[in-house]
Amino acid sequence: MNTWPKSYIVAALIAATALFPVGVLLSLAADSTQVFDAYNIQVLVNTVLLMLITACGAVLLGVPLAILLTYVQIPWKKFWLVLLAAPLAMPSYLGAFTFYAAFGYSGEISQLTGIETPTFEGLFGASVIMILYTYPFVLLSTRAALSSLDASQVYAARTLGMSLFKSLWHIALPRVANGIAAGALLASLYALSDFGTPAFMGLDTFTRVIYVEYNAFGLSQAAMLSLQLLVIVALVLYLESRVKGSQEPPGRHLLFWPNKKQTLLMITAIIPVILLAIVLPIGIFSLWLWRDGLGNFELAYAWHSAQASMLAAAAAMIIALPLAHASLRGKAGRLMERIVFVGFGIPGIVMGTALVYVGLQLPFLYQTLGLLVVAYLLRFLPLAIGSIRTATENLDTTTVNAARILGASPNEAFRRITLPLTMRGVIAGGALVFLEAMRELPATLLLGPTGYETLATYLWRVYEAGYFGLAAIPGLLLIFISALGLILMLTGERFNDLELNKESKAR
Amino acid sequence: MQRRTFLQTLSLASLAGTIPSISFNTFANTLSGESVKDLPPLQGELTLYLGRGEGGLYEDVLNAIKKRNPEFTLKIRRGPTAALANMLLAEAKAGVSRADLFWAVDSGAIGQVANAGLAKPLPAEIMQQFSPEFRFNNWAPVSGRIRTLPYNPSKVGNKQLPKSIMELPNCDLSIAWAPAYASFQSFVTAMRLIEGEEATLQWLTAMKRKARKYAGELGVVMAVERGEADIGLANHYYTLRLKAGKPDANLQLAFTNNDAGCLVNASGVISLTENKTAVDFIRYLLTTEVQTYLANEAYEIPLAGNVVPPRGIPALDKISPPQIDLTKLADLRPTLSLIRKAGVL
């Protein structure tokens, strides 16, 4: 028992690598001349404001939708649910790009219809986009909490004369506060680490300013800003770990049966969200495709995206296994697994900045596909691990115990029982890594080999050059990939709560 | 049509392009341009760092060169000009070299890299293709651009147009600009060097109150043409490109005198390696065919050889650009912080 299992050695190595970028940033920031200046405060204010507005907006939009989709019997409930959860799967930069192009004095909408629409830019624009693409976090987490709620108290309050909204406000919502908070924190985390949206909207948040500093090759200044961003990310992650979902013993389910007029009203209220978050991007990209045709698009861009992502997914599946093995072996293993999760909190632009510096020190890595794959791995490995862990958590430990009692060594039990049973999780995890890496923008922008254009970087280049029409194909392909991701999530273990009220069906 | 001609000449070399023989005499008549037909075929592999060019137009030139030289591989790394210049400097400092060539839309960035000693000298016969004021040490200018004030004549009416860029915010005119645009930032850098930080900051703050913001300078000239603003700030070729597609466009060009408002900047190329192919590649960019294409399609001012400049702008000796060392325009950081201080970005 004193010797470490082999998987520990691998896991320790990976955990050390996961912490490596933070170490690089610390050493880089050590030569930074300026720790904090007036402009830095402005960036901090912008970032925090965007984060807070996003969280509040996501709650304001997500909670009513969650109540509607949990308790109210509207027709095609599952259809609406999937459609309203869909923005979660789409990278918000696609939305930001199309909003930027569609609205404003010379935007597509005013050119098509002659109606002048307000410009989406700055804090206002970025907030609207962020809310539109993060409210599903709140919707799903709130919905999960609401559907486990016992409705008897609400009914009691109603019987005693409390109005419907008052009873929901005073009785239902406080009990799902943790669920709402969990969703809001995820939304804030997303707002903090996203690069594309503030960049397209011209809002100086940490991610955008880090990119500007990187472009001036002020690597130490970029590192200092990255560390400041990581502090906020860590704070949000800490808060998130403190929020625990409340579990109530299941009871009666709350159900409302609206009349036709009310149903129509509610569906009319839903539709603008879907129009803005999903239909608008698809519409604008399709319009460009119709008007500008294929343009300079080369299949190589799609292939590059797929190639790097496949390498990352394959590596993630191989590496996640010893980590999962180690985490099942004991406390130290679990700790190492947690360390790897650090990567998920590191925004792509921060990871990119750190690894560019590593590349400059180790020229054989600089501007190679290898370094890009390492960046994807460090960022998205937690997705694979999470997926494997869900699979192992559902595992009946008695089979493993039985195997051990029957004389199998721990390794044999892992190989012959745990591994085959977790294979589904491994593959789902690999697929998640693949899809997430396909859409990654900032790290690819910074680390990609010369001439290695991917869908995301091509989209960015087209935006920078102002030839928006050329974005049609990569835009639509990225939406398609996001749709695949959504399907995977819906069929995956983690989003079972999306299935239509299991309890009510059972009853 | 001219674009097709160019592509055919350059890629197939089967049709002789019509080489213009009449010249406005902007530059000395004795300058001799080369034709792609005189150039040796390119072979091997080169890596080009391409500072954010005019999108598809520079791309067309590169594609045509690639097509004409099937045994030649060109790897392109694209990025904002200043970013690539900084990247080249950082790579040199770390002892990593990846690029053979750097083609940038801004002389400042080129100068920064050349001054750091990274540029390899170019043969004298390349320098012979330029008029003396465009013969630089170790780098070759490719095309020129002038800062201009495009205005809407029917909106401006008989109001006074500003004679100096510093007067612009005090005029009774509504303004369109694109402060996020790289050319704008080079122009502000020039203003900062000529007028000083304080005056530039005041100018930016005063402008901010009157100006409407657009994403790019094509957007600026379109807005001025539509009448959303009376006057704009943009490089000359955006006006010419818009007028090419819409000859009766309600758009005229005004020039300021001897200040940053009529800065003449040049895109240019340097070789970072002592490689014959790299030098030959530069010669391709300076051929009559490429220069004619850039003049006719991109409305940029051809700088090599004896190519007719685009119609619709005065000859370079008719305007009075400020006397400024273009290579100093690379110092973007103080400019960015000024623009931010004014709350413009």
In percent, the amount of chain B with pLDDT more than 70 equals: 90
**B82 vs A296: CB contact, 8 Å cut-off?**
no
Choose, out of A301, A464, A468, A470, the residue to mutate when testing the contact with B (most B CBs < 10 Å).
A464
> Confidence band (pLDDT; 50, 70, 90) for B3?
low
Partners of B82 on chain A (C-beta within 8 Å) are 215-216
**A105 vs B89: CB contact, 8 Å cut-off?**
no
> B44-51 and B72-79: which strand pairing?
parallel
Residue A107: helix, strand or coil by DSSP?
coil
**CB contact burial B255-281 (16+ within 10 A = b; e otherwise):** bbeebbbbbbbbbbbbbbbeeebbbbb
Compute the distance between CA of residue A408 and CA of residue A419 in angstroms, rounded to an integer: 14
Q: Which helix (H) or strand (E) holds B214?
A: none
Lowest mean pLDDT among A190-194, B131-135, B162-166, B223-227: B131-135
A68 contacts A254 by C-beta, under 8 angstroms: no
**A465 vs B56: CB contact, 8 Å cut-off?**
yes
Q: Which residue has the higher pLDDT, A340 or B140?
A: B140
- A-contacting residues in B 206-235 (Cβ below 8 Å): 212, 214-216, 218-219, 222-223, 226, 228
pLDDT tens-place string over residues A121-173: 889 999 999 999 999 999 999 998 888 888 888 888 888 988 888 888 888 88
Name the residue among B55, B333, B336 with its Cβ closest to that of A465. B55
Task: Report CA Rg, chain A.
Answer: 24
**pLDDT for the residue numbered B198:** 95
B303 contacts B266 by C-beta, under 8 angstroms: yes
**A451 vs B337: CB contact, 8 Å cut-off?**
no
pLDDT tops 50 at residue B6: yes
A163 contacts A235 by C-beta, under 8 angstroms: no
**pLDDT for the residue numbered B17:** 33
The tokens of B264 are what? 């003449």
Shortest alpha-carbon distance between residue A106 and chain B (Å): 8
Q: Find, among A422, A403, A423, A399, the residue nearest to A411 by Cα.
A: A403
Q: Find, among B234, B231, B247, B237, the residue nearest to B152 by Cα.
A: B231
Name the residue among B56, B94, B340 with its Cβ closest to that of A467. B56
pLDDT tops 50 at residue B23: no
DSSP string, A414-457: IIIIIHHHHHHHHHHHHHHHHHHHHH--HHHHHHPPTT---HHH
Burial of A387 (0-12, 13-18, 19+ CB in 10 A): buried
Q: Is B198 left (phi over 0), alpha (psi -120 to 50) or beta?
A: alpha
| 507 residues of chain A, pLDDT tens digit each | 456 677 788 888 888 888 888 999 998 888 766 666 777 888 999 999 999 999 999 999 999 999 999 888 888 888 999 999 999 889 999 999 999 989 987 788 888 888 888 888 889 999 999 999 999 999 999 998 888 888 888 888 888 988 888 888 888 888 889 999 999 999 999 999 999 999 989 888 999 989 888 887 888 888 999 999 999 999 998 898 888 766 667 677 788 888 889 899 999 999 999 999 999 999 999 999 998 877 778 889 999 999 999 999 999 999 888 887 787 777 888 888 888 888 888 899 999 999 999 999 999 999 999 999 999 999 999 888 888 877 777 777 788 888 889 988 888 888 888 788 888 888 888 998 999 999 999 999 999 999 899 999 999 888 877 778 888 999 999 999 999 888 887 776 444 444 444 443 333
**A216 vs B83: CB contact, 8 Å cut-off?**
yes
**B180 vs A202: CB contact, 8 Å cut-off?**
yes
Shortest alpha-carbon distance between residue A198 and chain B (Å): 13
Shortest alpha-carbon distance between residue B124 and chain A (Å): 31
Compute the distance between CA of residue A101 and CA of residue A335 in angstroms, rounded to an integer: 46
**A204 vs B340: CB contact, 8 Å cut-off?**
yes
Partners of B345 on chain A (C-beta within 8 Å) are 202, 204
> Confidence band (pLDDT; 50, 70, 90) for B247?
confident
A205 contacts A50 by C-beta, under 8 angstroms: yes
Partners of A467 on chain B (C-beta within 8 Å) are 55-56
**pLDDT for the residue numbered A189:** 92
**B75 vs A106: CB contact, 8 Å cut-off?**
no
Choose, out of B213, B221, B225, the residue to mutate when testing the contact with A (most A CBs < 10 Å).
B213
**B216 vs A466: CB contact, 8 Å cut-off?**
yes
Q: Which helix (H) or strand (E) holds B75?
A: strand B72-79
Compute the distance between CA of residue A201 and CA of residue A121 in angstroms, rounded to an integer: 4
A122 contacts A202 by C-beta, under 8 angstroms: yes
**Cα–Cα–Cα angle for A462, A464, A467, nearest 5°?**
40
Residue B299: Cβ within 10 Å count: 26
pLDDT tops 50 at residue B19: no
Partners of A219 on chain B (C-beta within 8 Å) are 90
Nearest CA in chain A to B97: A363
Shortest alpha-carbon distance between residue B228 and chain A (Å): 9
Nearest CA in chain A to B52: A465
pLDDT tens-place string over residues B24-55: 344 444 567 888 888 999 999 999 999 876 66
Compute the distance between CA of residue A195 and CA of residue A24 in angstroms, rounded to an integer: 21
Q: Find, among A306, A372, A402, A324, the residue nearest to A11 by Cα.
A: A324
**Contacts with A220 (C-beta within 8 Å, 6 or more apart), sequence order:** A28, A29, A30, A31, A32, A33
Maximal CA-CA distance, chain B: 60
Lowest mean pLDDT among B6-20, B104-118, B184-198, B316-330: B6-20
Partners of A363 on chain B (C-beta within 8 Å) are 94-96
Residue A395: Cβ within 10 Å count: 16
pLDDT tops 70 at residue B11: no
Residue B233: helix, strand or coil by DSSP?
coil
Q: Which helix (H) or strand (E) holds B334?
A: helix B332-341
Nearest CA in chain A to B92: A360
End-to-end CA distance of chain A: 50
**A217 vs B47: CB contact, 8 Å cut-off?**
no
Q: What is the pTM of this model?
A: 0.84
**pLDDT for the residue numbered A150:** 82
- Asked if B196 has any chain A CB less than 8 Å from its own CB, the reply is no
Burial of A23 (0-12, 13-18, 19+ CB in 10 A): exposed
Partners of A214 on chain B (C-beta within 8 Å) are 83
Q: At which residue do the structure tokens 């895109």 appear?
A: B267
Shortest alpha-carbon distance between residue A88 and chain B (Å): 28
DSSP string, A237-281: HHHHHH---------PPP-B---HHHHHHHHHHHHHHHIIIIIHH
Shortest alpha-carbon distance between residue B3 and chain A (Å): 16
Amino acid sitting at position A255: L
Shortest alpha-carbon distance between residue A450 and chain B (Å): 5
B264 contacts B150 by C-beta, under 8 angstroms: no
Residue B200: Cβ within 10 Å count: 25
Choose, out of B46, B67, B77, B175, the residue to mutate when testing the contact with A (most A CBs < 10 Å).
B77
Compute the distance between CA of residue A84 and CA of residue A61 in angstroms, rounded to an integer: 11
